[in-house]
Amino acid sequence: MSRIAVCAPHFTRVPELRAELLAAYPDADFNDDLRDLEGDELIAFLKGHDRAAIGTEKMNDAVFRAVPELKLISKIGVGLDTLDLDAMIRHGVLLGWTPGINKRSVSELTLSYILTALRKVQVVNSEVRNGIWRRQVGNTLTGKTVGIVGCGHIGKDLVALLKPFGCHLLVHDIRDDPDFYAQHDMRAVGLDTLLSESDVVTLHLPLTPASRNMIGARELGLMKTTAVLVNLARGGIVDEAALKDALKNNIIAGAAFDVFVREPCLDQALLTLPNLWASTHIGASTHEAIIDMGRAVIRNLGNGRVPDPSWIPDWEPKITESVVVLPDETCVNKG
């Protein structure tokens, strides 16, 4: 019986990673359908395995109850919003996870989207496709005020990429990092101040109960009419109905989004707005990031930890104790 279930299509799409995983775990079972599994189908695939490599599969209490033999999850990427961490603790399931593994891929795309939105590239592209040939007047990034909401691995990496542009940097984060802020001449401010003073607002925080819809109609109304909003973090942080209204009514100048509440996003009234640049959650979709994330997953199949509240600042676990016993104790970190 195989003990490793590879749910994520990641390893089927990339033969190099599949070969590396098989070298470490020769009896691994792969999801070769190239689609995300959910519900009963996910449970059926996980049955009989004590470890799993997952991507965006929703791992909740029902899954853990149905597959009690599952004792470790190795997560591709950095987002934990598809995992019920409290249920993992209750059921004694360890998590293998490497935060920040795809930071350069996401920060580079963020920079390109900031420039796209400021220069109205999305508007020009839409007009050209519709037979309209005219020069749109945008704004340069150099010297502008950039507000970074969430200054973790990706936010910090973006700061390095912004340095040549001489931007004034504002930051809002639930965690304070005064040494980093001082080193990079950043000013820590409240969210309202950041929104009202920034020419660019870029989001780099996890989706949690506290961050869901944190940017709504009121917050968008605080922004400059010339400002742009960039979201490569998670769908759900921005109220999409409010965003649609703000773009339609020129409350803000433009937006560039890689993530949406539902993916694929089916709101054509939003997606076809000329001042929205939209993509299909490609922040980590570079060859280099895919290889790095895949190799981290392979390592983490033998390096699980009990989920820790410090990973998500506003998460307060309901259960803080668990006992996990895996056949190979030497490869599991219970720290």
Q: What is the pLDDT of residue 141?
A: 98
Q: 298 near 308, Cβ under 8 Å?
A: no
In a structure prediction context, what are the per-residue pLDDT tens digits for the chain, which is 335 residues long? 459 999 988 888 899 999 999 999 999 999 998 788 999 999 999 999 999 999 989 999 999 999 999 999 999 988 888 999 999 999 999 999 998 899 999 999 999 999 999 999 989 988 999 999 999 999 999 999 999 999 999 999 999 999 999 999 999 999 999 999 999 999 999 999 999 999 999 999 989 889 999 999 999 999 999 999 999 999 999 999 999 999 999 999 999 999 999 999 999 999 999 999 999 999 999 999 999 999 999 999 998 999 886 776 666 666 544 444 444 433 444 33
Query: Which residue in 16, 38, 69, 263 is the catalytic one?
Result: 263
Short-list 107, 93, 96, CA closest to 65: 93
CA distance 88 to 71: 9
Helices 287-300, 103-118: crossing angle, 10 deg rounding: 150
Task: Please name the residue that has the structure tokens 């079972």.
Answer: 29
User: Catalytic residue at 108?
Assistant: no
Domains of the chain, first to last: 4-101+287-331 (3.40.50.720), 103-278 (3.40.50.720)
- In SS3 terms, 234-271 reads as CCCCECHHHHHHHHHCCCCCEEEECCCCCCCCCCHHHH
Q: Is 49 a catalytic residue?
A: no
| pLDDT per residue as tens digits for the range 293-311 | 999 999 999 989 998 867 7
Structure confidence by residue, pLDDT tens digits, 165-199 = 999 999 999 999 999 999 999 999 999 999 999 99
Given 90, 187, 212, 281, which residue is catalytic?
Answer: 281
Answer yes or no: are the C-beta atoms of 273 and 247 closer than 8 Å: yes
Among 49, 91, 172, 234, the one annotated catalytic: 234
pLDDT at 139: 97
Q: Which two tokens stand for residue 298?
A: 């392979």
Using CA of residue 235, residue 70, residue 76, residue 181, what is the dihedral sign? Answer: positive
Dig out the tokens for 111 from the structure: 């920079």
Please say if 51 is a catalytic residue.
no
